[in-house]
């Protein structure tokens, strides 16, 4: 067993557990996008990032791929984490605003603007479909090809694949082609239709262990003004 | 983003499955042999035919998407048939500011193709690269392994003519692929040029060499692309020599290895910016193969 400290609480977990699993085990929610139980960790979206280490030398890592270590100090919702996570979500919004999964992430994290060049990509390269196809459907029909900004998802030679069984698993997991967000505001990249609560309290002290980790956040509402 | 359809339209060339199986058998059991296999197939056909990749996947028992992913990842692999001459025009930062986009445009105009396409007569394929390591000579283009430097729009036509004529039988002075360089020692910066000994009408490069406990001078032609050498003692073919600066006696050998034969390469500074590396093995053809920028 390994003991690590998450948001000030000591947790003991089996060796080989990821930080994400450990945090969820004791009830700290960490948002994820490219992670799915039953598929191997991939670390593509960076939504799940957490702050590890002791101040003043902390760093941000993706919790879905980071293995729990003895004595590791983890903060799942420090101001640095929340700030960076909102930036990650903003970048995701810039590439794929039609995804309901991403819009939901945006509204639950109080991301209500998007300052980058707006694109409407069909794919955010999260790799969920690739892992679904090879690890659960045992088909290995699709994958990534090319690199840099030419990296794209597809079948070999972009023709109908003989290996594909048309199971639909890839479409089922895809955050970009599942449910589409029906905008309330036509010209805004941020829908905000589902946003109901103010963002987490971010103006706390640096390295404050007990940052807000409630989801949805309620702390600021009950805090005395 | 995805170039859907782009890769599907190429014609299917006939592929001999036996040949592919021979190549596979040659690399049988090699760890990570896929790249070597794909390289061999590309040498055979000039590109990677779709059917060849299917045969590879089938025979290796690996999913086609893996093979396809590797083939699409490396720039050196092409899934489309390529022309006889491959032009790699540099669009790196240094070449870009020196006007490389205009050169690429001119190449496109004269060849009547776009980047990454092949002319109808299958003579030329135009590609762009990001820095060839010869920034001081920019804008640069490499055709069939030969470097064309300081390109201008007006030089594009002769470039194509020379490329079509091939690399053999070039004449110094008339051919831009052979140009003079002035070099100096990377340590003491003394010029290595020797005005008292001319090779091919140019001052030679003088260094001290040592091999088999003998020391003496060695003079090299100072023309990039020419491999003439004269030395005090006869250096046996294919032996590796150590070279020193005649002024500060620093060893000129660098940690680079010759891409052709693996011997250490000797490094000298080019006046005007850049480094030239030559192979320290006598008679190795890769003798003057790499120019690198320093500025
Ligand atoms: S539908 Fe085809 S590509 Fe998608 S998961 Fe199933 S087998 Fe794989
Ligand atoms: S198609 Fe969907 S699931 Fe697959 S990588 Fe792209 S966004 Fe992810
Ligand atoms: S969920 Fe961890 S990086 Fe995407
Ligand atoms: S930028 Fe063209 S050779 Fe370096």
pLDDT of residue A192: 66
Among the partner residues A140, A147, A153, nearest to B73 by beta-carbon distance: A147
Q: Does B64 touch chain A (CB under 8 A)?
A: yes
Q: Which one is the CATH code of A128-173: 3.30.70.20, 3.40.50.720, 3.30.390.30, 3.90.1150.10?
A: 3.30.70.20
The torsion defined by the Cα of A154, A155, A158 and A164, in degrees rounded to 10, comes to -130
Could you give the CA distance from residue B100 to residue B150 in angstroms, rounded to a whole number? 10
How many angstroms away from the CA of B13 is the closest CA of chain A?
Answer: 15
Region A36-54 average pLDDT: 94
Give chain B positions within 8 Å (CB) of A144: 69
| Bigger pLDDT: B263 vs A82 | A82
A interface mutation test: which of B63, B71, B127 has the most A CBs within 10 A? B63
The first and second tokens of residue A24, run together, are 């969820």
How many angstroms away from the CA of A153 is the closest CA of chain B?
Answer: 7
Residue A137 has pLDDT above 60, yes or no: yes
With a Cβ cut-off of 6 Å, ligand 3 is lined by A 32-35, 43-48, 62, 64
Q: Could A155 and B63 be called an inter-chain contact, meaning their C-beta atoms sit closer than 8 Å? A: no
Would the CB of A125 count as within 6 Å of ligand 2?
A: yes
Region B94-120 average pLDDT: 90
Closest by alpha carbon to B291, among B198, B190, B213, B223?
B223
Bridge partners of B124, per DSSP, are B85
Closest CA in chain A for residue B53: A156
With bands split at pLDDT 50, 70 and 90, how would you rate the model's confidence at A219?
very low
**Range with the lowest mean pLDDT among A27-36, A176-185, B21-30, B114-123?**
A176-185
Among the partner residues B8, B63, B64, nearest to A158 by beta-carbon distance: B8
Q: Do A108 and A31 form a contact (C-beta atoms < 8 A)?
A: yes
Q: Could A150 and B68 be called an inter-chain contact, meaning their C-beta atoms sit closer than 8 Å? A: no
Considering chain B, what percentage of its residues have pLDDT values greater than 70?
A: 82
Ligand nearest to the CA of A175: 2
Ligand nearest to the CA of B93: 4
Residue A213 has pLDDT above 70, yes or no: no
pLDDT of residue B121: 84
pLDDT of residue A31: 92
Helix then strand then coil, % of chain B, to nearest 5:
25, 25, 45
Ligand 2 atom at minimal distance to the Cα of residue A96: 7
Residue A92: partners with Cβ closer than 8 Å, 6 or more residues away? A33, A45, A47, A99, A102, A105, A124
**Range with the lowest mean pLDDT among B30-34, B205-209, B240-244, B284-288?**
B284-288
The per-residue pLDDT of chain A, averaged, comes to: 84
Q: Do A29 and A215 form a contact (C-beta atoms < 8 A)?
A: yes
CATH architecture for the domain at A1-77: Roll (3.10)
Q: Could A158 and B2 be called an inter-chain contact, meaning their C-beta atoms sit closer than 8 Å? A: yes
For residue B96, give the 3-state DSSP assignment. Answer: helix
The torsion defined by the Cα of B32, A142, A140 and A103, in degrees rounded to 10, comes to 110
Domain chopping of chain A, boundaries: 1-77, 78-122+179-202, 128-173
Tally of CB atoms within 10 A around A160? 9
The first and second tokens of residue A127, run together, are 């790799």
For residue B44, give the 3-state DSSP assignment. Answer: helix
Q: Could B65 and A156 be called an inter-chain contact, meaning their C-beta atoms sit closer than 8 Å? A: yes
Region B226-237 average pLDDT: 74
**Range with the lowest mean pLDDT among A186-195, A196-205, B121-130, B131-140?**
A196-205
Q: The dihedral of CA A10, A13, A15, A17: what is its sign?
A: negative
Q: Does B232 touch chain A (CB under 8 A)?
A: no
Ligand 2 atom at minimal distance to the Cα of residue A128: 3
| Bigger pLDDT: A97 vs B287 | A97
What separation in Å is there between the alpha carbon of B141 and the centre of ligand 4? 9
Residue B14: partners with Cβ closer than 8 Å, 6 or more residues away? none
Could you give the CA distance from residue B203 to residue B217 in angstroms, rounded to a whole number? 15
Could you give the CA distance from residue B117 to residue B171 in angstroms, rounded to a whole number? 31
Region B38-44 average pLDDT: 86
Q: How far are the Cα atoms of A77, B83, B125, B243 from residue B144, in angstroms, in the given order?
A: 56, 11, 11, 30
List of domains in chain B: 17-73 (no CATH), 85-164 (3.40.30.10), 179-292 (no CATH)
DSSP per position, B146-163: EEE-S--HHHHHHHHHHH
Tally of CB atoms within 10 A around B47? 20
pLDDT digits (tens, 9 = 90+) for B182-222: 787 877 777 888 878 877 777 788 888 887 777 888 888 77
The first and second tokens of residue B129, run together, are 């690269």
With bands split at pLDDT 50, 70 and 90, how would you rate the model's confidence at A90?
very high
ipTM confidence: 0.76
The first and second tokens of residue B233, run together, are 């003692």
How many angstroms away from the CA of A74 is the closest CA of chain B?
Answer: 36
Give chain A positions within 8 Å (CB) of B64: 156, 161, 163
SS3 string, chain A, reads CEEEEECCEEEEECCCCEHHHHHHHCCCCCCCCCCCCCCCCCCCCCCCEEEECCCCCCEEEECCCCECCCCCEEECCCHHHHHHHHHHHHHHHHHCCCEHHHHHHHHHCCCCCCCCCCCCCCCCCCCHHHHHHHHHCCCCCCEEECCHHHCEEECHHHCCCCCCCCCCHHHHHCCCCCCECCCCCCCCCCCCCCCCCCCCCCCCCCCCCCCCCCCCCCHHHHCCC
Q: Do B244 and B209 form a contact (C-beta atoms < 8 A)?
A: yes
Closest by alpha carbon to A170, among A123, A101, A106?
A123
pLDDT digits (tens, 9 = 90+) for B136-177: 887 999 887 778 888 998 888 888 888 887 655 444 445 555
| H or E, element range at B127 | strand B124-129
Give chain B positions within 8 Å (CB) of A150: 1, 3
How many angstroms away from the CA of B57 is the closest CA of chain A?
Answer: 11
Considering chain A, what percentage of its residues have pLDDT values greater than 90?
A: 54
């Amino acid at each position: 067993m390994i003991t690590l400290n998450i948001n000030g609480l000591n947790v003991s977990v089996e060796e080989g557990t990821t930080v994400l699993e450990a945090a969820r085990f004791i009830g700290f929610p960490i948002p994820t996008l490219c992670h799915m139980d039953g598929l191997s960790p991939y670390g593509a979206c960076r939504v799940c990032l957490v702050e590890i280490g002791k101040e003043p030398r902390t760093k941000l890592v993706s919790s879905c791929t980071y293995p729990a270590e003895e004595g590791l100090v983890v903060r799942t919702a420090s101001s640095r984490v929340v700030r960076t996570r909102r930036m990650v979500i903003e970048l995701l919004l810039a590439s794929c605003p039609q995804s309901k999964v991403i819009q939901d992430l945006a509204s639950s994290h109080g991301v209500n603007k998007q300052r980058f060049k707006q694109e409407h990509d069909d794919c955010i390269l999260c790799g969920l479909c690739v892992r679904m196809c090879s690890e659960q459907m045992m088909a290995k029909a699709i994958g990534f090809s090319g690199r840099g900004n030419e990296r794209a998802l597809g079948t070999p030679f972009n023709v109908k694949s003989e290996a594909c069984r048309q199971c639909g698993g890839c479409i089922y997991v895809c955050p970009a082609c599942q449910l589409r967000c029906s905008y309330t505001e036509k010209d805004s990249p941020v829908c905000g239709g589902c946003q109901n609560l103010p963002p987490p309290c971010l103006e706390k002290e640096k390295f404050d262990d007990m940052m807000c980790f409630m989801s949805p956040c309620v702390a600021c509402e009950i805090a005395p003004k | 983003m995805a170039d859907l359809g782009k890769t599907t339209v190429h014609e299917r060339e006939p592929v001999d499955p036996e040949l592919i199986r021979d190549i596979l058998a040659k690399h049988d059991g090699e760890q990570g042999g896929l790249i070597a296999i794909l390289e061999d197939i590309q040498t055979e056909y000039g590109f990677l035919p779709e059917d060849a990749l299917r045969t590879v996947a089938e025979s290796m028992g690996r999913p086609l998407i893996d093979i396809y992913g590797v083939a699409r990842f490396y720039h050196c692999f092409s899934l489309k048939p390529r022309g006889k001459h491959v032009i790699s025009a540099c669009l790196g930062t240094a070449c870009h500011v020196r006007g490389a986009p205009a050169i690429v445009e001119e190449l496109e105009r004269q060849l009547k193709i776009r980047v990454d396409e092949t002319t109808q007569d299958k003579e030329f394929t135009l590609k762009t690269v990001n820095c060839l390591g010869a920034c001081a000579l920019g804008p640069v283009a490499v055709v069939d392994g030969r470097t064309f430097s300081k390109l201008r729009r007006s030089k594009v036509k002769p470039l194509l003519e020379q490329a079509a004529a091939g690399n053999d039988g070039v004449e110094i002075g008339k051919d831009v692929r052979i140009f003079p360089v002035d070099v100096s020692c990377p340590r003491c910066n003394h010029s290595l040029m020797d005005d008292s000994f001319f090779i091919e009408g140019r001052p030679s490069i003088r260094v001290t060499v040592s091999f088999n406990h003998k020391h003496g001078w060695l003079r090299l032609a100072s023309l990039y692309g020419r491999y003439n050498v004269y030395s005090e003692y006869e250096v046996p073919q294919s032996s590796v020599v150590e070279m020193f600066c005649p002024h500060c006696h620093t060893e000129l050998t660098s940690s680079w290895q010759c891409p052709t034969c693996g011997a250490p390469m000797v490094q000298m500074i080019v006046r005007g910016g850049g480094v030239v590396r030559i192979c320290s093995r006598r008679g190795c053809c890769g003798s003057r193969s790499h120019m690198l920028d320093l500025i």
